[in-house]
Amino acid sequence: MFSRVVDVDARERIRDAAIARFGREGFGAGLRAIALDAQVSAALVIHHYGSKDALRAACDAHVHATIRRAKSEAMRDESPAQVIGQLATIEQYAPVFAYMVRSLMDGGPAAAQFVDGLVEDAESYLAAGVAAGTVRPSRDPHGRARALVASSVGTLLMTQLDAAAGRAVAPTDRPGEAIVAMAEATVLPGLELYTYGLFTDSSYLDAYLEGHP
């Protein structure tokens, strides 16, 4: 069945339109708007996916799979340090990225699973760094990985807030630009912190360790 000119399955068109709309407007976006984007009736969305929730689940799954694929590709041939340079290429993943940010902001279980993946990755990178002698060991490697991911997540959210206040481009709008702007503002303080720490001596840490044997 070769039907119309460029007719990828309407199912996929619907899913992609949903991902784009959800990413741009959040999960309150209406089915009819999504259907319009996909040049399809609202009823067909239900016909294919059963319900809006199920549609969202399908979007979650597809986004998750896309990210996993992109991540394993990126891991194959790049050192983590220069991945930043590669980030401009992310523009092609714009909708997926925006969707992920919305998902984070929404606070659903899908987002929890996503950050779990990030933490896992960070933990293994850090472990590799420790083994190579470039990263200090930690008493709580998992907690440290979580802290670093929290930094990134928080930076992302704060950039989104800046965008709401008209001070920056929104990650959900133009992910590529937002990411590089974010990086520019974040890298120097981050590197400072990560190489020298914040305090001039270890008295705070010592005091804490005193109380938690």
Interacting residue ranges for DNA, rule: CB under 7 A: 1-3, 9-11, 29-33, 39-48, 51-53
Residue number, 73 or 194, with CB nearest to a copy of itself: 194
User: Per CB under 8 A, does 195 bind a copy of itself?
Assistant: yes
Joined together, the tokens standing for residue 203 give 């008295």
Cα 177 to chain centroid, rounded: 15
Q: How many CB atoms lie within 10 A of CB 137?
A: 12
Q: Which does 52 bind (CB under 5 to 8 A by kind): DNA, a copy of itself, none?
A: DNA
Joined together, the tokens standing for residue 207 give 């005091």
User: What is the smallest separation between the CB atom of 57 and DNA, expressed in angstroms?
Assistant: 11
Q: Which does 181 bind (CB under 5 to 8 A by kind): DNA, a copy of itself, none?
A: none
Stretch 133-172: interaction string toward a copy of itself, x if CB under 8 A: xxxx-xxx--xx-xxxxxxxxxxxxx-xxx-xx-x-----
Give the integer Cα–Cα distance in Å for 168 and 26.
Answer: 19
Output the 3-class SS for 139-185: CCHHHHHHHHHHHHHHHHHHHHHHHHCCCCCCCCCCHHHHHHHHHHH
- List residues binding a copy of itself (CB under 8 A): 28, 81, 104-109, 111-113, 115, 133-136, 138-140, 143-144, 146-158, 160-162, 164-165, 167, 185-205, 208, 212
